[in-house]
Amino acid sequence: LFSDSTNALKPGYTMSEKKIGETLDELIKTARGRIIIAAFSSLIGRIQQIINSASYYGRKVFISGRSMADNISIAQQLQFIKAPPGLIHPINKIGKTKDEDVLILTTGAQGEAMSALTRMSLGDHAQILIKRGDTVVLSSSPIPGNERSIYTVINNIVRLGARVIFNQVMDVHTSGHAQREDLKLMI
């Protein structure tokens, strides 16, 4: 057996996705206005948790970003993501949906220059203008080298009046890389 992990030198266990799901659920439950969640579009389990919470609390899910739309579509076809009919919509269908009924799943958790979240933070997104009362969640950890871009996006969003939640504020992301005790358990 060969195993390796970027977190092999960190003691303890990696936080569970269940804990992250509980935190995101509470945020979705308590957010008063729109909630915008930026996540890795390939993290299908996390996306399913977000969709489940949105459905439970009566929020429609609007998808922004090509990779997010593509990955959700493929995952739905393969039945890895399940959602009630009429829950998930493309972002251009947001129309006059009440803010308290909106959850936007978007790309851009790493501050990529042309990503949907970056465009929102600059006021350049075709459908979404971030405003006071919005809650924006970056459900990710910075990939080394992306820190400056991410904090620029966060600063821009704060200037627009939105509440920003990221991992240094609340547990909204966990590593996919095993820590020392996880590796011992596997071995």
Catalytic residues: 4, 177
Tokens representing 175?
A: 């590593």
Axis-axis angle for helices 17-30, 44-56 (nearest 10): 30
d(CA 91, CA 144): 30
Residue 60 is which amino acid?
A: K
Residue 60 three-state SS: strand
Residue 20 three-state SS: helix
Q: How would you label 118-135 residue by residue, b for 16+ Cβ within 10 Å and e otherwise?
A: bbbbeeebeebebeeebb
Beta-strand pair 102-106/135-139? unpaired
- Residue 117 is given by DSSP the state H
